[in-house]
Chains A and B, each alone.
Chain A
């Protein structure tokens, strides 16, 4: 078993359905399988009792069946790994950004340029997600920055578990920036938290300006939209204002940077944005370290 696998957090309780009330837990409410409630119905984890009567309102008359209320997020499995990744990033003071877009938006070109420009002043590493080939990681490594290719095979997105494994193989310096280039796909990666500080969606002006409306989930999930290839705008009928209005329609808070990875226009805005996010990551690290220090002091005193 790998070091990131093996979390077996169970959140469940059973109850008979012959009581007259209902209760739900808010999302994120977390507790182990053996907790106690003072409700009057039974909670017996780890035991199976046949023949205790009808299973309840959903399926009257089934004497051998019982209902188990579990209230688990379908993405819970991924989210647990994402939380582990997030904690690992925080402990290192590492800023992790999840770059998402359609294929061909210029993610890799932007990353090569970014890696080249930033590597002198801060540690940069890249995880490249594609279905097949290591072409992209090869391009990044050519800039002198460590990169790891993750091939998803038939998969349409990176998940948090893959990132956990990738972190084992990639040298990640403290207080640096980790760029995760997701599989080129504006649909599936939207729902998968990798533990990143932010999703950055890249849209190039050679694509349709209506993409934020066509693929709203991704634009809703992203904190920043990069409008790439703006050097080509004079040759195109792309309407920037419309595009931004569409993006804000699905995500009123989305931030915007217009740039060209080829001409260099707008890159300073992108680097300033990264620096600001990195400050956030460093602050989180200070908080984590102070908590660690306080715990160590307490142990010493106790």
Chain B
């Protein structure tokens, strides 16, 4: 359940930002999660609901998850492709040598605050 420590990391960022930028509450947080990241988006949302109450800044925050597709470079057919998971074969040529080039993001993108 490393989603729990990731969630605590998100709340820490919200609290740091609240102090640095002088807002009291976060109403919503937009989080980008790549399909190839090491986090399960549903588990993250679940943990966030469990943990946010402990933080005055985040207690009322809603988490919006933006999914980003997995991107890879097929070394067999030399083309960029979109994949759902790391073990996928190339959807164009069926090759199995894919180098992941994107979609492993775990990023807090934007906040709605007041």
Which positions in A face B, CB cutoff 8 Å?
A: 8, 10, 12, 14, 27, 33, 45-48, 50, 55, 58-59, 62, 64-78, 155-157, 159, 187-188, 190-192, 213, 216-217, 220, 248-250, 252-253
Docked pose: A62 CA to B25 CA in angstroms: 14
Pick the residue among B86, B99, B109 that contacts A69 (CB under 8 A). B109
| A217 (CB) vs chain B CBs: closest residue | B38
Closest partner residue, chain B, to A249 (CB atom): B96
Name, among B6, B21, B22, B105, the residue most crowded by chain A CB atoms within 10 Å (CB to CB).
B21
Q: Point out the residues of chain A lying under 8 angstroms from B109, CB to CB.
A: 69-71
A contact patch SS: loop
A contact residues around B5 at 8 Å (CB): 155, 157, 159
How far is the CB of A4 from the nearest CB of chain B, in Å? 15
B31 interface hit (Cβ, 8 Å) = yes
Query: Shortest beta-carbon distance, A172 to chain B, in Å?
Result: 26
Interface string of B33-66 (1 = CB under 8 A from A): 0000111000000000000000000000000000
**Shortest CB distance A80–B (Å):** 11
Q: Tell me whether B107 and A74 are in contact (CB under 8 A).
A: yes
In the docked arrangement, what's the CA distance between A191 and B30, Å?
20
> Which residues of chain A come closer than 8 Å to B6, judged between CB atoms?
74-75, 191
Contacts of A59 in B (CB 8 A): 27-28, 112
Contact (Cβ within 8 A) B16 A8: yes
- Chain B interface (Cβ within 8 Å of chain A)? 1-2, 5-6, 9-10, 12-13, 16-17, 20-23, 27-28, 30-31, 37-39, 75, 85-87, 96-100, 105-114
Q: How far is the CA of A246 from the CA of B37 in the complex (A)?
A: 19
Contacts A74-B106, A191-B39, A249-B96 given; indicate if A66 touches B112 (C-beta within 8 A): yes
Across-interface contacts of A77 in B (CB, < 8 A): 9, 12-13
Known pairs A68-B112, A74-B10 / 4 extra A-B pairs, C-beta < 8 Å: A47-B22, A59-B28, A62-B112, A74-B39
Residues of B within 8 A of A55 (CB): 112
B106 touching A75 by the CB < 8 A rule?
A: yes
Q: Residues of B contacting A190 with CB < 8 Å?
A: 38
Distance A284 CA – B37 CA, assembled complex (angstroms): 29
Q: Is the CB of A73 within 8 A of B2?
A: no
Cα A10 to Cα B18 in complex, Å, equals: 11
A68 to B106 Cα, complex, angstroms: 17
Are B23 and A68 closer than 8 Å at their CB atoms? yes
Q: Is the CB of B13 within 8 A of A76?
A: yes
Q: How far is the CA of A216 from the CA of B9 in the complex (A)?
A: 24
What 3 pairs between A and B have smallest CB-CB spacing? A191-B38, A188-B2, A216-B86
Query: Smallest CB–CB gap between B43 and chain A, Å?
Result: 11
Q: Is the CB–CB distance between B110 and A69 below 8 Å?
A: yes
7 A-B Cβ contacts within 8 A?
Answer: A65-B113, A73-B107, A74-B108, A191-B37, A213-B87, A249-B97, A250-B87
Chain B nearest CB from A62 CB (Å) reads 7
The complex places the Cα of A190 from the Cα of B38 at a distance, in Å, of 7
- Contact A70 B13, beta carbon cutoff 8 Å: yes
The reply to whether A33 and B20 form a contact with Cβ atoms under 8 Å apart is yes
**A residues less than 8 Å from B99 (CB atoms):** 252-253
Is the pair B21, A217 in contact by a Cβ cutoff of 8 Å? no
> Quick one: closest A residue to B106, CB to CB?
A74
